[in-house]
Chain A
Amino acid sequence: MTLARSLAVLLLAAVLVPLAAVAWRGSGLAFGPSDWAAVRFTILQAVVSAALATGLAIPVARAIARRSFPGRGLLITLLGAPFLLPAVVAVLGLLAVFGRSGIVNQTLQASGLPPVSIFGMQGVILVHVFLNLPLAIRMILHGWLAIPQERVRLAQSLGFRPADIARHLERPMLREVLPGVALIIAVLCLTSFAAALMLGGGPAATTVELAIYQAVRFDFDLGRAAALALVQVVVTGVAAILVLTVAQPSGLGLGLGQEVRLPGPPGWRRVVDIGAIGLAVGFLAVPMLAVVLRGLPGVPTLPVEVLAAAGRSVAVAIASAGLATAVALTLALGAVRGNPMVEIAATLPLATSGLVLGTGLFLLVQPLVTPMTVALPVTVLVNTLLSVPLLYRILVPEARALAADYGRLADSLALAGWARLRWLVLPRLARPLGFGAGIAAALAMGDLGVITLFAGDGQATLPLLIQRLAGAYRLEGALAASVLLVLLSFALYWVCEAGGRRAAA
């Protein structure tokens, strides 16, 4: 059995065994009305969040596509950052702006208007739009920039007005791109946990993930947690299959090279475009500025417990990024040789979530050890499993190109095993490997998921500690810790990504 095959089997086992534990414990349990409410809310908030993020992204993407302005390239780059932003930090930033004492409510109060609440469904949706709007903008922008230049030239030579361009070029493109964009965002929202944990709750705003957490942590009702996890797997599984069958737009790697741009029409459309970009930038930048401005003063006096949690988070991030990258690379190299089991193993984790796998692992380890003692290893394992599909998809096309370009030459020179890895694979794939490792590290660094099921007081990661501080109304402390978390997340990403680029140069 090849290494890729053995690893695929191991990966399948790591996902299927916890799922089997969940199925064994959770099947046949009666589902109460509050459980169904959680399922309904989960789907509803995902659909609304996806629709809002996608709808709002269209005018912004169009404005960026057809206008040139200083900082355009930088803006597009920065729009990639929220994908790596820890959800807890986004929640805190939005709390600082839209919360009870935030700028928005202070303004409303000053003008004699009633305050708005960020808690409940609107808060969860607000966070999801905040986190996914940039992703939607980038993916839709990619569609705009992918309109063939010949067709743009043709439109210009035929003297198309903006309405004609919309009808003949833009709407056909959007019809193709939007379903994929909305689906991807809906799937991300289905398994999102931090927003619901911090802003949701209660009968009207509890997601399945949150209900699992409450069943484990507050009710110690593992059977109910398992039943909920089972439903979550069905919902995410169906959504993941939909995503994989609908053509996926690409937004992660985005070039700027398009010589012929759609014409930017003058007049009121110019005002609309400026407004769209301005509003989007404001909506995304103000909460982040609030985090930095209010959090920065507290950074020098961060307590030891925050620093210890940061240390644990960095260790978890490095371990899961290293593992996920090694696993994804082995699988991608195996996939080139045509191994269907590899493909399945690398895709299966998409049907799960941190809390689903966490529930399964909790059921498995609980008879053997105190779950608290394995909190960090479990977090590493789950983050690794959840990163593999993404990294695999980044690496497979690169591995295919490598095999097509240099496979025969390497074979003819008997370049195999470690020598092939050392002298061919690692140097040629350094760039995507660094990029993938950076994404995995940042996501693991900011992840608030499985750790909430397992951690006691001594195992908290930095995102968990921030959530606890915020829950205890220590907002300033939480914001200071958030600044540290963001710095560490992006530093890890940068070190990996730049390291890959340097090694490839």
Chain B
Amino acid sequence: MLQLDHLTLTRGAFRLTGNWTADPGQRVVLMGPSGAGKSSLLAAIAGFLPLTAGAVRWNGHDLGPMLPGERPLTILFQEQNLFPHLTVAQNIGLGLRPDLRLGKGELARVDQALERVGLSGLGPRRASQLSGGQASRAALARALLRARPLLLLDEPFAALGPALRAEMLALVREVADEVAALVLLVTHDPKDAIGLGGQTVFVADGVAMAPVSTAALFANPPDALQSYLGPK
């Protein structure tokens, strides 16, 4: 279980608080106006932003003292999810061993992951030669191999067209199901929230509200969400 225990982030005039929990395997969308702090919240959970107060816990363990790489999570950024100078297979292999000393078994797992996301045969190619959609698939393949119980997605598909985005969301659902991961997805687009299903955290006015069922939320949106979404 992910617990934000009276978490507070401050930077200059920016301030964000959150105090809620989310269960393993749950799919949670973070939505809200830009600048509200969705990405900052993800960065804090991933260990890139120090907390001003409170704690982030996973199954009761405080993540505070852990380095980003030690935390039980995989994060996909808005861009730069692959090292362009390494091959696709190496990029994915980093998810198994950062020193890339991969044995036969591990290489086979990389190939399986490539196949799983529809990139069979592209392993030897440089990551810089991939299209945007292929790069997203490769990053998801690495998430699959890492199999961490938390999957954080910071608008990684923002640059893709609508059809590709829908495909990627479907792939996220499959990957998350396979490793039984709790998904936290930052997005601007209500369609993503509905497409992913599950719950939504609305982030606005300095507060990341507790997750509520996305379907129920959109059926009866509170005022702040309604003004974010615009008139019906």
Q: CB distance B86 to A405 under 8 Å?
A: no
Give the contacting residue for A409; candidates B43, B80, B85; CB below 8 A.
Answer: B80
Give the contacting residue for B100; candidates A411, A412, A416, A423; CB below 8 A.
Answer: A423
Q: In whole angstroms, how far apart are the Cα atoms of A428 and B80 in the complex?
A: 14
Q: CB distance B69 to A412 under 8 Å?
A: yes
Q: CB distance B86 to A423 under 8 Å?
A: yes
Give the contacting residue for A423; candidates B43, B74, B83; CB below 8 A.
Answer: B83
Q: Does A56 contact B (CB under 8 A)?
A: no
Q: CB distance B48 to A408 under 8 Å?
A: yes
> Closest CB of chain A to B195's CB: distance in Å?
25
Q: A419-B100, A423-B100 are in contact. Are A411 and B94 (CB under 8 A)?
A: no
Q: A408-B77, A423-B90 are in contact. Are A413 and B69 (CB under 8 A)?
A: yes
**Which residues of chain A come closer than 8 Å to B69, judged between CB atoms?**
411-416
> Closest CB of chain B to A398's CB: distance in Å?
14
Give the contacting residue for B83; candidates A408, A411, A424; CB below 8 A.
Answer: A424
**Which residues of chain A come closer than 8 Å to B80, judged between CB atoms?**
405-406, 409
Q: In whole angstroms, how far apart are the Cα atoms of A428 and B83 in the complex?
A: 9
Q: CB distance B94 to A423 under 8 Å?
A: yes
Q: CB distance B68 to A415 under 8 Å?
A: no
Q: Does B67 contact A (CB under 8 A)?
A: yes
Give the contacting residue for B70; candidates A406, A414, A419; CB below 8 A.
Answer: A414
Number of B residues, CB within 8 Å of A:
22
> Closest CB of chain B to A416's CB: distance in Å?
7
Q: Does A427 contact B (CB under 8 A)?
A: yes
Interface residues of A, dominant DSSP: helix
**Which residues of chain A come closer than 8 Å to B94, judged between CB atoms?**
413, 415, 423
Give the contacting residue for A415; candidates B47, B70, B98; CB below 8 A.
Answer: B98
**Which residues of chain A come closer than 8 Å to B86, judged between CB atoms?**
423, 427
Q: In whole angstroms, how far apart are the Cα atoms of A416 and B70 in the complex?
A: 12
> Closest CB of chain B to A237's CB: distance in Å?
38
Q: Does B95 contact A (CB under 8 A)?
A: yes
Kindly report which residue of chain B lies nearest to residue A409, judged by CB atoms.
B80
**Which residues of chain A come closer than 8 Å to B74, judged between CB atoms?**
412
Q: In whole angstroms, how far apart are the Cα atoms of A164 and B63 in the complex?
A: 65
Q: Does B30 contact A (CB under 8 A)?
A: no
Q: CB distance B77 to A411 under 8 Å?
A: no
Q: In whole angstroms, how far apart are the Cα atoms of A419 and B86 in the complex?
A: 13
Q: Digitize B135-147: 1 where CB-to-A-CB distance is under 8 Å, 0 elsewhere.
A: 0000000000000
Q: CB distance B95 to A413 under 8 Å?
A: yes
Q: In whole angstroms, how far apart are the Cα atoms of A168 and B69 in the complex?
A: 55
Q: CB distance B48 to A414 under 8 Å?
A: no
Q: Does A268 contact B (CB under 8 A)?
A: no
> Closest CB of chain A to B61's CB: distance in Å?
17
Q: Digitize B28-67: 1 where CB-to-A-CB distance is under 8 Å, 0 elsewhere.
A: 0000000000000001001110000000000000000001
Q: In whole angstroms, how far apart are the Cα atoms of A504 and B126 in the complex?
A: 13
Q: Does B81 contact A (CB under 8 A)?
A: yes
> Closest CB of chain B to A125's CB: distance in Å?
48
Q: Digitize B69-113: 1 where CB-to-A-CB distance is under 8 Å, 0 elsewhere.
A: 110001101001101011000100011001110000000000000
Q: CB distance A412 to B83 under 8 Å?
A: no
**Which residues of chain A come closer than 8 Å to B99, judged between CB atoms?**
418-419, 422
Q: CB distance B98 to A413 under 8 Å?
A: yes
For A405, A412, A413, A424, the residue with the greatest tally of chain B CB atoms inside 10 Å of its CB is: A412
Complex A-B: 11 CB contacts under 8 Å: A406-B80, A406-B83, A408-B77, A409-B81, A411-B47, A412-B68, A414-B69, A419-B98, A423-B94, A423-B98, A427-B86
Chain B residues proximal to chain A, CB less than 8 Å:
43, 46-48, 67-70, 74-75, 77, 80-81, 83, 85-86, 90, 94-95, 98-100
Q: A408-B48, A412-B74 are in contact. List 19 more A-B contacts (CB 8 A).
A: A405-B80, A408-B46, A408-B77, A409-B77, A409-B80, A409-B83, A411-B68, A412-B46, A412-B69, A413-B94, A414-B67, A414-B69, A414-B70, A416-B69, A418-B99, A419-B98, A423-B86, A424-B83, A428-B85
